[in-house]
Structure 1
Amino acid sequence: MFFTTKKAILASILLLLAVAAAIGLYFWEIPTTKNTTSSTSSKETAMIEESKPAKPTVEEQLKTIISDMTLDQKIGQLFLARVPETNQIEDIKTYHLGGYLLFGRDVQNETTESLTKKIASYQEAADFPLLIGMDEEGGTVSRLSQNENILKEPFKSPQAIYQADGLEGIKTDIDQKATLFKQLGIHIGLFPVADISTDTNSFIYNRTIGLDVEGTSQYVVEVVKELNKNHIGSTLKHFPGSGETQDTHTEIVRDTRSLEELKKNSIPPFQAGIEAGADSVLVSHNIVEAIDKHVPASISPKIHEILRDELKFNGVTMTDDMDMNGLSDFISQEQAALSALKAGNDMILSSSYQKQIPVIKSAVQSGDYPEAQLDESVLRILTWKHKLGLISLN
């Protein structure tokens, strides 16, 4: 009996020890098991992440869009066309235009509501979002100022604002313009004027800030920064600077200044604006003899080489209005746009797009205007549109 009881007790003790050992081993192994599982999961997650394709860049996504565009669509993107008097909607569809530039006649008798609807109707007709522009320097060049229904008090000239309130006044003016532009659906106002003029008798004087090189450069930088802050496109004009020459609206103009003078007293505000983040540069129709004495700047490869190679500008280059006598008296409208593109412009400001686009298309098809160069220009334009919020990407 004793031995039986003893054996039973011993068996019970051994059983308890075995259970205790098992429990201890279980708890001892729990942290190890958890760490191993966690480590394995981290490695597996890392491997999965590495196997995922990298998200395409903005440039890659835009290039994909371009690769799916027809030749007609790509060529159309190169035109910031003056709104035609008739067939506004039809021409957007037919020529796949990149944008519309509104003038005084386009806002005449409109209200804020009706003009907003008109611009929206243009966008609805487009394959790709339109860049809507309006010359709104202020003062003598302000299209909206012609309509009291839209603007109770005309935008003052930058010079008048600066003289009254300095650069802070300039910033306030830009904020006001930006608010109105966004309400209407306008993306660019084709300013600031980066030309330098201190001669009150010069045709360009009233459109400039009226200061020297340093003052003009500072003005341009502040305007570009303020426009960027407001997500409104900036345009430096009229490269490489008008100086105190005549008006290319009315005649062929030759700029006889030396290259040294241009680099010292004309180009610096453009360089400052580019370094501040300017979106676009508008090239003049002046024949700048120190750089290219044979053709107007707008159709001169040498002028554009300075912009790209020396000033390192990577944004959109555009011509001044193709209809101005400084160019139209020099070359036919049919050939002018093609010459401008071959020279290095990305965008054409034109009323004659109907007869210019077929010439460009033929040049691409024959290899006279390389499609690779066309694609580069379209990429710059779409990049600008994306920056302004017109093109959404993943």
Structure 2
Amino acid sequence: MKRLLSLFLIISASGLLITGCSPALTLSQLFSPVTFTGYVLESDDATLTLLYRAEDAQEPVTSVFDLTALPQGPLPETGAEVKITLKTGTDPESLKAGDTPLPARKLEVLTASDAAEKAFYSLRADKLLAGMSLEEKVGQMFFARYPGPAAPEDEKAWQFGGTILFGRDFKDKNPDQIRAEINACQDAAKIPMLVGVDEEGGDVVRVSGNPALRAESFPSPQTLLQNGGMDAVTADAHEKDALLKSLVLNVNFAPVCDVSQNPADYIYSRTTGRDAATTADYAKATVSAMDSDGMGSVLKHFPGYGPGADTHKDFSRDSRPLETFEAQDFLPFKAGIQAGAGSVLVNHNVIEAMDPDHPASLSPKVHEILRDALGFDGVILTDDLDMEAITKAYGADTAAVQAVAAGNDMILSSRYTIEIPAVIEAVKNKTLSEDQINASVKRVLTWKMDLGLIEN
């Protein structure tokens, strides 16, 4: 009897298999229940699919669990963090090999879906990334200027992450025509696209400038504040969102967060025309409304345009001290970030106090400030690299590679047929790391998930 007991203990300690059980079943598995902790990907009355990261796994995995033995009750929502305990003695590997759902004995909700959302999106993005080629990843980093009739073919070829439409793309078109064009482009996308537009109100009204789409153009921020205060700002944001969503647009390149009280400034007419505190309130109200409507927002033009010249036409330097940015220009961006903005657009001004040698859009130092000092963890986007502040000093290929190296997650691009291959080549020759590409694409995918563009 003692000899048999000693042999039993030796087998248990060494983790050897028990004769007569499943080939992979150890003593510890026989007497200890197996648990899985992860996030609900989908569920029905009979099964639940869990997304989780297994120990030492490079990418997330999924498993399906049989719920029929559990007491009937409400199922956890998609994205909720849960723990599933299997029936004691179950051999998960044997069942997985046969595509059999694992028998759940207990289901516990650890974190509600809203609180677990960020971690859930992170795992889903990792799962998508694992199945993407380098070319597909780099394509996701480009917010391409809408190429008109060639859009579906270009999207099929390049798989860019987003496209932005301008006034010419809406001119003389009715809503049905616009929807049909955008949907045709989306149909060519392996991963649903961000589809954006500049609809600020006032000077910049790409959509409402077409009387077939709205009887009157949306008013400027200054007009809204003068006539109705923040209530008018909120109502205006909701109305814009409704119009854009009706046209299957999902990102508005707004609000303008630049602080300017000088009518002589290039950017003045597009701003609130008020002080930093009022502009911050405006940014918060606008982004909050957009977030509640599921409309993507883009805070622009970081780190603040101030008295800068028009970078569409020429180079511009800003000699103001860093303290001015910290006390004034950063405040609206901080307010928009705290309200849930998905993206921040970086301008092409040279901010001498931050980096005297590079435009902000190509400056690692400016991007470090946005990440570290302002705590932004969303998508950083360049202003259009086809603006002359960039094209007069850089080729399209060089600018694109420098933009990624500086820390941009997406490039607003008019010359993506040159810029995408340049970035791909830079990764292949180790000028850019694929880890950095992965981190940027993960932010892009997460933004798309947050907007409901990527289904389970």
Q: What TM-score, normalized by structure 1, do the two folds share?
A: 0.86
**Deviation for aligned residue 1:50:** 6.6
- Alignment equivalent of 1:219, drawn from 276, 279, 282: 282
Structure 2 alignment gaps of length 5 or more? 1-69, 72-84, 89-103, 111-115
Paired with 1:204 and 1:45, the residues of 2 have a C-alpha distance of 61
- The answer to whether the aligner puts 1:119 opposite 2:165 as a matched pair is no
- Alignment equivalent of 2:378, drawn from 308, 311, 315: 315
Structure 1 counterpart of 2:255 = 192
Structure 1 residues 10-65: Cα deviation after superposition (integer angstroms, max 9, x where no partner): xxxxxxxxxxxxxxxxxxxxxxxxxxxxxxx99x978655799x998321122111
Structure 1 residues 51-103: Cα deviation after superposition (integer angstroms, max 9, x where no partner): 99x99832112211111011111110011100114522111011111111001
- Alignment equivalent of 1:256, drawn from 306, 315, 319: 319
Structure 2 counterpart of 1:5 = none
Structure 1 counterpart of 2:423 = 360
Query: Does the aligned pair in 1 maintain the 2:224–2:232 contact within 8 Å?
Result: yes
Paired with 1:290 and 1:227, the residues of 2 have a C-alpha distance of 33
Identity %: 41
- The answer to whether the aligner puts 1:240 opposite 2:294 as a matched pair is no
Greater fraction of residues in helix = 1
Structure 1 residues 267-310: Cα deviation after superposition (integer angstroms, max 9, x where no partner): 11111211222111000000000000001000000000001111
**Deviation for aligned residue 1:330:** 2.0
Paired with 1:172 and 1:186, the residues of 2 have a C-alpha distance of 19
Paired with 1:72 and 1:280, the residues of 2 have a C-alpha distance of 23
Structure 2 counterpart of 1:282 = 345
Structure 1 counterpart of 2:168 = 105
**Equivalences for 1:1-394 in 2 at 5 Å?**
48-49=104-105, 57-393=120-456
Query: Does the aligned pair in 1 maintain the 2:314–2:388 contact within 8 Å?
Result: yes
Paired with 1:85 and 1:235, the residues of 2 have a C-alpha distance of 23
Query: Does the aligned pair in 1 maintain the 2:208–2:217 contact within 8 Å?
Result: yes
Paired with 1:382 and 1:174, the residues of 2 have a C-alpha distance of 25
Query: Does the aligned pair in 1 maintain the 2:397–2:423 contact within 8 Å?
Result: no
Q: Secondary structure of 2:187's match?
A: helix
Structure 1 stretches of 4+ moved >4 Å: 44-52
Paired with 1:146 and 1:181, the residues of 2 have a C-alpha distance of 13
Q: What TM-score, normalized by structure 2, do the two folds share?
A: 0.74
The amino acid of 1:211's aligned partner reads R
Structure showing greater radius of gyration is: 1
Paired with 1:313 and 1:45, the residues of 2 have a C-alpha distance of 40
Paired with 2:258 and 2:87, the residues of 1 have a C-alpha distance of 56
The amino acid of 2:422's aligned partner reads V
Q: Secondary structure of 1:74's match?
A: helix
Paired with 1:61 and 1:267, the residues of 2 have a C-alpha distance of 32
Structure 1 alignment gaps of length 5 or more? 1-40
**Higher RCO (C-alpha 8 Å, min separation 6):** 1
Structure 1 residues 181-204: Cα deviation after superposition (integer angstroms, max 9, x where no partner): 111111111001000000112111
Question: Structure 1's 51 and 389: CA in aligned 2 closer, same or farther, altered over 3 A?
Answer: closer
Paired with 1:356 and 1:49, the residues of 2 have a C-alpha distance of 53
After superposing the two structures, state which structure 1 stretch, 137-146 or 252-261, moved more.
137-146
**Deviation for aligned residue 1:259:** 0.9
CA RMSD of aligned residues (A): 2.0
Q: Secondary structure of 1:154's match?
A: coil
Paired with 1:106 and 1:178, the residues of 2 have a C-alpha distance of 18
Paired with 1:294 and 1:49, the residues of 2 have a C-alpha distance of 62
The amino acid of 2:403's aligned partner reads A
**Deviation for aligned residue 1:256:** 0.2
Question: Structure 1's 202 and 389: CA in aligned 2 closer, same or farther, altered over 3 A?
Answer: same
Greater fraction of residues in strand = 2
Q: Secondary structure of 1:87's match?
A: helix
Aligned residues: 352
The amino acid of 1:112's aligned partner reads P
Paired with 1:244 and 1:265, the residues of 2 have a C-alpha distance of 13
The amino acid of 1:171's aligned partner reads T
Structure 1 residues 135-164: Cα deviation after superposition (integer angstroms, max 9, x where no partner): 000111110133111111111111111110
After superposing the two structures, state which structure 1 stretch, 290-299 or 122-131, moved more.
122-131
Q: Secondary structure of 2:412's match?
A: strand
Paired with 1:199 and 1:311, the residues of 2 have a C-alpha distance of 26
The amino acid of 1:125's aligned partner reads A
